[in-house]
A and B are shown apart, each in its own frame.
Chain A
Amino acid sequence: MKHRMWSVLVLCGVAGAVMATTPARIVISKGSAPKINIAVESFGGDANAQQIAAVLASDLVRSDWFNYVAAANAEVIVRGSVSGGSLNGAVFSRGGSTPVLQKVCAGDGSNPRSVAHQMADEIVRNIAGKPGIAQTKIACVASGTGSKEIYVMDYDGANVKRLTNDHTLTVRPRFGPNRRTLVYTSYRSGWPDVYIMPDVAAPAPRRVSYYPGLNTGGAISPDGRRLALILSKDGNPELYLMDLASNALTRMSRTRQAESSPCWSPDGSQICFVSDRAGQPQLYMIPASGGEARRVTFGGYKTEPDWASWSVSAEVPDICFSARAGRQFQVFGLKSRTGEELLLTQDGADNEDPCWAPDGRHIVYSRTVSHRSSLYILDAFTGRTIELNPNLRVLGDCTAPAWSR
């Protein structure tokens, strides 16, 4: 197993080296990423044992670190039994009789998907050595009610729940660092204000910014203590930081042009945002402690940055954004350390609003064809894209997705 994990790492390195030598703005080659062949044998026990096994298999495939294969071809086999809703799972390497991983995933019979997601994240963490995403959530804006409202769902599009009932424009959700807190903009008061919902499991929003003019673009710092946001109270849309304990504001930009869409570096030391101070919108970075903003992209129309909370490899971009490419918008990547830009989608659709999963590998974005929008997942490693879940189309147009982290 150790040997196999090393070979995975080495292969990742080779794929990365190929990307690094390609010129900027070339689609990442859709080559095959190294994957571990895995099988899930049917689980014994409770009535929902087979559902747990099926969800687990789906989670392992969605992680993109595994190929799901027949047991005879598997390098790694998952066995388990379910009792009282809990899974007693064990992972074996081929031919091995001693488990390389054993885990009890607690459940009560009512939450088989959650039990499967726990096991999936254990396997991804211990066998592939990567952060799992099976217990994450995705929020988005959907227009099916005739208003724009915010919804939340499991990372695979199941368990959709509407979070707002504002009957107006409710937009730009972003998760805080604890996987539960959501910040968003709503015109519920008649004006665009920023709200924080401390726990998406029990929606109780608090309005945190309602200055005259525009209040939007809320992004909570990785330590959960500050909110980056865009306010126009001083006469122009500018970047501010709000201390969430005291509500004290610090103005971070001072231009005659438009600032928008802040996001935080994973260590909280930098903020990436959009400004059109040079003519067209471009990405800038500014130290969270204040100072001069530094331009980091050049040329074209570049907006909507999101900074990955975990970097899967120095060769995979850690900032995603959307930019005009020809007549369309596409998702791009930016390596924050080198400034290298990479085109990540190119499929004839408008691909916008990218947001990283906490594995630093997957990006959720909104794909628009013929003025209809739905959510897609991009594997930034291979360039492969899939629709998040076609069942979401019943919600109407889905845009502005946010991945919990």
Chain B
Amino acid sequence: MVLSCLLLISVAAGADTLSVSPDSRFSSIQDAVNHARSGDVIFVQHATYHEGNILIDKKLNLTGIEYPEIYPGDTAEGFVVIADSVVIRGFQISDVARSYLKDRAGIRINDCRHCLIENNRLIRTFFGIYLKNARGCIIRDNEIEGVPGDEASTGNAIHLWYSKDITVERNTARGHRDGIYLEFVENSHVENNFSENNIRYGLHFMFSNNDDYRYNTFRKNGAGVAVMYSRNIIMENNVFEQNRGSSSYGLLLKDILDGQIRFNHFIENTIGIYADGSNRILYEFNEFRENGWALKILGSCSDNTITQNNFTGNTFDVMTNSKTSMNTFTGNYWSHYSGYDLDRDGVGDVPYRPVRLFSYIVGNVPSSILLLRSFFVELLNYAEQITPAVTPAFLEDRSPRMKIIKP
């Protein structure tokens, strides 16, 4: 009865539309939610709303008109969703404070399915969008901006925990701990996101299996992407660039199995890919350009195949701490290769050994990098190429390409 007076338009049979604005019947979003019925649509007009912990406990579509601004205050979160099939679209949520006791978020999804979180702006929130035990949700076109340089006191922009079948696409994440974080997440897709200036990682997988990420850009993060303790992660068509700390990586692989790394670009990173305990991974059609080390592959890695990649202008191509190699390097293009191709079949006639002696020395004595371009070092490298003593003799590409490979 009360509700029927407040209808603006009826969207469909049984679904009502409510409007929130400071001078209308509903001046708070929570009030409108409390009066709505499952399936209703709530339009929130542009204004400033000082309310937090807005609890969505039924199937609702909340749509902000021209980004209404929500300030939850010092002790609250923004939205807390505990019902299935909720839509939250077009809001701006600002200033969610850090807490030691609770991971406060701008938008929190707890134990539910089929949510759609799109076109929101989250500014200076401790955690941006936080999914716990969610299924079949879509997180897209959100802009999440943390506090730049605020060291350890910021959470993750998009945080997925114990979730399944999630799509994260076209979001922008900046100034957080990790841009996108997945822990115990399965069958999920991370696509077309832009992750920049995050303190730790642009994207971070922990204990997550059967996921993929494609067409994302990771720029100037502490490290680009970390994939740890996970299986079957597909990594394709991403750009990893300018991750340049003293021990910074484009991509860090730690204890993973059965992944694919294809068609990616690793550009201007301290280390393009750092692989430790990573097995049965296919590296194919990637570009490694102008990195300090293109690929550091530790002795704990085996059965990896590195084929048809382009290594151009890297200070060092490959570094390893092992004298044996249980990985296959074949058919890559190496700009440092100085062999010849007498039979003109496009494949170099002498193998290429991508591990240089001097990269070992730099590994042990970092400050020796000063000597990089010196005559003495060139001489050392040359001697080592002819008679390998320290570098692994078996780590070689027997069919190096003479020309850049066009994938």
Task: Please determine whether chains A and B interact with each other in the same assembly.
Answer: no
Which residues does B use to contact A, with CB under 8 Å? none
